[in-house]
A and B are shown apart, each in its own frame.
Chain A
Amino acid sequence: MSRIIVVTSGKGGVGKTTTTANLGMALAQRGHKVAVIDADFGLRNLDLLLGLENRIVYTAVEVLAGECRLDQALVRDKRQPNLALLPAAQNRTKDAVTPDQMKKLVGALTKAFHFVLIDCPAGIEMGFQNAITPAREAIVVTTPEVAAVRDADRVVGLLEANDVKRMYLVINRLKPAMVEQDMMMSVKDVQDILAIPLLGVVPDDERVVVSTNRGEPLVLGADSTSLAATAFGNIVRRLEGEKVPFLDLNPPPEDFFSRIRRFFQGRKS
């Protein structure tokens, strides 16, 4: 049974597409056959992040119109043959497809792929409906900011109402030093409000920007040992059902006592 997971957030710019690209690549590296779908019709980005822009010939809209076969539209990654991208049309809007058509497309993909990741557009309108209707699971991405958490909360409610019951939380772009100084929401603050299982915490990392511009997911390139890349790797292992301890993102404690205290806190959870 293949898994259909939508990556969504409500708010824009929190890292849905980056997360989709990295999780897709990391899953493929671990031997799964993965299809990533860009559901952001009219504002597609996923192809850029994966560095596959120049290889797109057909898009999902042409498949639905019957102008080409599904496998013609799928772009296979040369660096990682387990990964394929179904691109969105850039010259259409979200109304170009219906939830039922998305369901049909995803249904066809599940025959050949173990994992189908759907990159959801921002907002909660038609594009959101299109993206979540075929999904059975959801990864809700948020940053530790009040606005992002508020929107994520709304999205969780909408997912519940649309029968996507299995939801996981990814907190992106956390700055441990700022949390320490009480200037940023902590992981616990976010979890208190959203109340869904935590899948991973990705620290803020400038190398993400570089990898995005280069079209090379973090987990693939020379930076694959960075903390953010390790966090994405851990998320994938947790998706597979493995119990992986959360990364210690805090800067090393200064004195002996706080180290002892944190040791005991770590044991409790």
Chain B
Amino acid sequence: MNSDSSVPNPPSSVAQTIPEPTSVPQVRFKGEGGRLLLLLPSENEITTPATAWADLWQQLKQRLNGGDRFWQPNTAVYLIARDRLLDTRQLQAISEALTEAKLNLKRVYTSRRQTAVAAATGGFSVEQQSPIAHLNPETVGQAIAEPLYIETTVRSGVEIRHPGTVIVLGDVNPGSSIVADGDVLVWGALRGVAQAGASGNSRCIIMALRLDPTQIRIADFVARAPETPPQQYYPEVAYVTPDGIRIISTADFSKDRLELPES
């Protein structure tokens, strides 16, 4: 990089206007104060080794396909790229994908100089933030993220990770997996792998209209599908008892079970 002139000076007030999200394992949209934020996972938060551009791109397309009912046309999108390294072409691709979904990329926030230069070269409005990740000490009793709501068929090869509850409107097919720190709710058939309470909370539950999973995990507990499939499927809930994971019909699942203290 040879020129500094294309990079606007980082304003000092940015940190207050756009708060750094705590943890984003995957590409995610988030509404905040009437604005739509597009959060990208940070480089050092990559959980799978191959979360490269291709994966990022696929996740973005998936989110765009699965949520279009919830945003108004021409909503401004603020891209929170954090320490992600993006080149001009990739930023251009993101902008075009957003335009196609009738959203417009308003501004790019990044803590990487190269990304800021690339964004400025591409004609985007940029704000460079100083990396403040190290200023966030591990807080005790951190609040869980808001639920992730997706309307799509989760197909083979797709993994959805979220530090909160995941709600899927559609089927979760075999070969896919959902990993949530909170509950997993599937309004459809759950045929893949589902994990609730991934950070260790055994009071999380998994529910589906048709619970036919490859495997379910809640906190440290694992359950497999029975060898002989049931004759008939009905909405069910999986939860943890002292004897392991239990599955019960939704009709019999009383709400006060959620309040039961851990024994």
| A and B pair up | yes
> Which A positions have Cβ atoms within 8 angstroms of B?
150-151, 153-154, 156-158, 160-163, 192-193, 195
Partner of A193, one of B57, B158, B191: B191
The CA of A158 and the CA of B157, in the complex, are separated in Å by 9
Partner of A161, one of B61, B153, B156, B174: B61
Q: With a CB–CB cut-off of 8 A, which chain B residues contact A195? A: 153, 171
Partner of B175, one of A150, A160, A192: A150
The total of Cβ contacts below 8 Å across the A-B interface reads 38
For B34-51 the 0/1 string (1 means CB < 8 A from A) is: 000000000000000000
The CA of A163 and the CA of B58, in the complex, are separated in Å by 11
Q: Assuming A154-B155, A157-B155, A193-B171, what are 10 further A-B pairs, CB within 8 angstroms?
A: A150-B156, A153-B157, A153-B175, A154-B175, A157-B62, A157-B156, A161-B58, A163-B61, A192-B189, A193-B191
The 5 lowest CB-CB distance pairs between A and B, nearest first, are: A157-B155, A153-B156, A154-B156, A154-B157, A161-B61
Name the residue among A153, A193, A195 with the largest chain B CB count within 10 angstroms: A153
The CA of A69 and the CA of B138, in the complex, are separated in Å by 64
Question: Does B115 lie at the interface of the complex (its beta carbon under 8 Å from any beta carbon of A)?
Answer: no
Question: Does B173 lie at the interface of the complex (its beta carbon under 8 Å from any beta carbon of A)?
Answer: yes
B191 touches A157 (CB 8 A): no
Partner of B155, one of A153, A162, A163, A192: A153
Question: Does B9 lie at the interface of the complex (its beta carbon under 8 Å from any beta carbon of A)?
Answer: no
Task: Give the shortest distance, in Å, between A191 (CB) and chain B (any CB).
Answer: 12
B171 touches A161 (CB 8 A): no
Closest to A193 in B: B173
Partner of B57, one of A151, A154, A160, A161: A161
Name the residue among B155, B171, B175, B191 with the largest chain A CB count within 10 angstroms: B155
Partner of B62, one of A154, A156, A160: A160
Task: Give the shortest distance, in Å, between B26 (CB) and chain A (any CB).
Answer: 14
Closest to B210 in A: A192
Task: Give the shortest distance, in Å, between B165 (CB) and chain A (any CB).
Answer: 23
| Known A156-B155, A195-B153: A150·B171 in contact at CB below 8 Å | no
Q: List 20 A-B contacts (CB under 8 A).
A: A150-B174, A151-B156, A153-B173, A153-B174, A154-B157, A154-B175, A156-B155, A157-B62, A157-B155, A157-B156, A157-B157, A157-B158, A160-B61, A160-B65, A161-B61, A162-B61, A163-B61, A192-B189, A193-B191, A195-B171
Q: With a CB–CB cut-off of 8 A, which chain A residues contact B57? A: 161
Closest to A156 in B: B155
Task: Give the shortest distance, in Å, between B50 (CB) and chain A (any CB).
Answer: 13
Task: Give the shortest distance, in Å, between B89 (CB) and chain A (any CB).
Answer: 13
Q: With a CB–CB cut-off of 8 A, which chain A residues contact B189? A: 192
Closest to A163 in B: B61
The CA of A236 and the CA of B104, in the complex, are separated in Å by 40
B62 touches A161 (CB 8 A): yes
Task: Give the shortest distance, in Å, between B153 (CB) and chain A (any CB).
Answer: 6
Task: Give the shortest distance, in Å, between A31 (CB) and chain B (any CB).
Answer: 35
Q: With a CB–CB cut-off of 8 A, which chain A residues contact B175? A: 150, 153-154
The CA of A158 and the CA of B176, in the complex, are separated in Å by 13
Q: With a CB–CB cut-off of 8 A, which chain B residues contact A153? A: 155-157, 173-175
Task: Give the shortest distance, in Å, between B10 (CB) and chain A (any CB).
Answer: 34
Task: Give the shortest distance, in Å, between A11 (CB) and chain B (any CB).
Answer: 11
